[in-house]
Amino acid sequence: MSIIQVGIIMNGVTGRMGTNQHLIRSILAIRKQGGISLSNGDVIMPDPILVGRNENKLRTLAEKHKVDRWSTDLDECLADEKNVIYFDSQTTNRRAEDVRRAINAGKHIYCEKPTATSLEESLSLARLAFEAGVKNGVVQDKLFLPGILKLKRLVDSGYFGRILSIRMEFGYWVFEGDWQPAQRPSWNYRQEDGGGIIVDMFAHWRYVLDHVFGNVKAVSCIGATHIPKRVDENGHSYVCTADDAAYATFELEGGVIVQANSSWTVRVNRDDLLTIQVDGTQGSAVAGLRECKVQHRVNTPKPVWNPDIPNPINFLEQWQEIPTNDHVENAFKVQWELFLKHVVNDDPFSWDLLEGAKGTQLAELGLLSWNERRWVDVPELTIGGVTNGKKAEVTKG
């Protein structure tokens, strides 16, 4: 048995998501468990170096979590052959430039989404990575959540029969920052800084819909900036230039219709911050982040519309919970382990920079639909040749 040390440049992990999900609950959790065991007995051990622009934040974070390596010099980290993976969880408008530098330095790439602020830039990164022969991946965490995994099992088993429609409700009330601090950073509400819920969430909806239900073929979207002014982290008022809510309809292959509401200006009256209802000819399901309940055709009640009497049916009691038969770890950690095994052991990994570009594409087309007030088709993005380390051409077609 040998320990395979894998140096990982972690750029932008001083933010909430980077610190909690990627550093603490993924990389440090993998180290704490003793690494990732391979079938031949070898063990992959991630060796992170924290990178960013704020020396004080980096030092404090590294000391708190006993991370030996940190730096404010990205070029120096990229030049170090010990570091074989570059990870990026910076703000969206900073990501593409540093990912490009890392590809040119020969590093394997793993990054948050959106991968860039435009489709052309996202495709440029995908093309560059494939031509450079570096392995690459994009965080698509919701695919590894227990609730979504249960939905995927139902789809694969044929439980729904023919899927007719899907309804997605996502969001919560993000405080304006005046009388209570906001739960999200202020840049989320400034278009010039890469903010906006369409840019943020449509990247998620693309991979969830594509990988669980079927490819997205068209989109109709209207966005809104419901809260025009907010207060930032320093107590300064600012004008919101990005959308904080989006109301979209997607058409999937096979004619499946998806209604998806995304909002940071909604008060939650449902089981979870994200709920997905799937209705099919043979049955339906409602999933949250962790739980999933179903109602089969034979268990469906038969309501009759009569507003003159109290409703006689408790509809919520008519659903059956899907049991959690397997222990599912943190979704970010699961995908990190898969990517590390892809880099070291050449295990399959489907969620590459082209998949990231598809998310950017859907956001861009959603914004176009809103601006032009019309349905927009979603062109296919294709790769010619073999992906994952082999030379390939990325095209729009």
137-191 pLDDT, tens digit per residue, is 999 999 999 999 999 999 999 999 999 999 999 999 999 999 999 999 999 999 9
User: What percentage of the chain exceeds 70 in pLDDT?
Assistant: 96
Helices 197-208 and 353-372, interaxial angle, to 10°? 120
Give the model confidence (pLDDT) of 252-301 as tens digits: 999 999 999 999 999 999 999 999 999 999 999 999 999 999 999 999 99
State the pairing for strand pair 229-231/245-252. unpaired
Query: What phi-psi label fits residue 373: left (phi over 0), alpha (psi between -120 and 50 degrees) or beta?
Result: left
Query: What phi-psi label fits residue 266: left (phi over 0), alpha (psi between -120 and 50 degrees) or beta?
Result: beta
State the Cα–Cα distance between residues 202 and 351, nearest whole angstrom: 16
What residue ranges in 122-244 does DSSP mark as E strands?
A: 136-138, 163-171, 216-224, 229-231, 237-239
Residue whose structure tokens are 């990247």: 203
Nearest to 128 by CA among 99, 157, 156: 99
Give the model confidence (pLDDT) of 317-326 as tens digits: 999 999 998 8
State the Cα–Cα distance between residues 391 and 262, nearest whole angstrom: 38
Report the alpha-carbon angle 358-30-83, nearest 5. Answer: 70
For residues 395 and 24, which has the higher predicted lDDT (pLDDT)? 24
State the Cα–Cα distance between residues 101 and 115, nearest whole angstrom: 14
**Where does residue 139 rank: exposed (0-12), middle (13-18), buried (19+ CB within 10 A)?**
buried
Task: Return the bridge partners of 169, or none.
Answer: 261, 275
Distances (CA, A) of 181 to 49, 184, 238: 31, 9, 14
Residue whose structure tokens are 């008060």: 267
pLDDT of amino acid 326: 86
Mean pLDDT value of segment 368-383:
94
Mean pLDDT value of segment 338-352:
97
State the Cα–Cα distance between residues 151 and 167, nearest whole angstrom: 13
State the pairing for strand pair 283-287/274-280. antiparallel
Give the model confidence (pLDDT) of 33-92 as tens digits: 999 999 999 999 999 999 999 999 999 999 999 999 999 999 999 999 999 999 999 988
Residue 286 phi/psi, 5° resolution? Answer: -130, 120
Number of neighbouring beta carbons within 10 Å of residue 249? 15
Q: Is the pLDDT score of 394 beyond 80?
A: no
Cα 373 off chain centre by: 27
Count how many Cα atoms sit within 13 Å of the Cα of residue 104 in the half-sphere of its side chain. Answer: 8
Question: What pLDDT band is residue 27 in, cutting at 50, 70 and 90?
Answer: very high
All residues at 6 or more sequence positions from 103 whose CB lies less than 8 Å from its CB, including other chains: 109, 125, 128, 129, 132, 134
Contact 300, 208 (CB under 8 A): no
pLDDT of amino acid 383: 61
pLDDT of amino acid 18: 95
Domains and CATH numbers, the chain: 3-141+330-355+382-396 (3.40.50.720), 143-321 (3.30.360.10)
DSSP per-residue string spanning 88-124: E-S-HHHHHHHHHHHHHTT-EEEE-SS-SSSHHHHHH
Q: What is the pTM of this model?
A: 0.92
State the Cα–Cα distance between residues 397 and 391, nearest whole angstrom: 19
Q: Is the pLDDT score of 349 beyond 50?
A: yes
**Average pLDDT along the chain:** 94
DSSP per-residue string spanning 59-74: HHHHHHTT--EEES-H
What's the sign of the alpha-carbon dihedral 193, 196, 201, 202? Answer: negative
pLDDT of amino acid 385: 43
State the Cα–Cα distance between residues 346 and 47, nearest whole angstrom: 19
Nearest to 216 by CA among 56, 358, 90: 358
Mean pLDDT value of segment 111-137:
95
pLDDT of amino acid 47: 98
